Structure 1
């Protein structure tokens, strides 16, 4: 295996992403489109024209994956595997949490409880390219009611962002 070969995990991820795109098209009305890769003139990537259809398809995939995780965990327990072994298969490590991995695995799989969230000094952000101004935008989330505080990186001339800021000012009055 060379350093350019994909790992089995990376290949599985790409296959799942492809299935989600197909489900968005087949079940939610999206169409495949080629979009340019930022910073390259000739490279494109396949995506869909309706991101909300992609979200719907990904939610269905997530829910299916959750059900399959539980089914396989129960199968593993039936064949004599421990909750520690299941935790390892789930990627739950003792170093990352205060609780025992076996307990976390059980709570995640059976009770559908998320793993404990560790507070970070910085809030995590989303990053996306604005189709109006073609700039990389840092999205801090909808925690502040004013769009100028929630997003940074738009071009000064971005019509979409200017319209959102203007609309929020109207709502203030």
Structure 2
């Protein structure tokens, strides 16, 4: 939401849950400089910050079919390389290697986790909101996993679409 001066005021948006149709539909490419994309980027970061344990959030998860997502793995014990909080538009994987299986969860599938094989070395290209030059992010380990998870959301895929089978899906543990 913009105030009268035209600056963006981030808003927390509700997270949609599977089987919402937007989660299974490939999102549209965006103009990273469009005002609505700048607002969406700010809202994704704001929503992540108030969501305990959240390390990534894609536009389809807030009901918007756009190729925009936020990631922040700062402080996560499995993170090695950490770029802090960032948002990417129209992201694509450029290089992926060193595949490893790891457990994933998702705010849009809150009751389940699953084992997913993902690249642990990754190069992703995309645009920062407001940017006109494509940037590359080189990362590894947990941040690489988070990026692939969010890129999947933009392609209409959930982590459940990537598990090896029902034997690799688990009820989420609740810690009291």
TM-score by length of 2: 0.24
More strand by share: 2
Structure number, greater radius of gyration? 1
More helix by share: 1
TM-score by length of 1: 0.24
Answer 1 or 2: higher relative contact order, Cα 8 Å, separation at least 6: 2
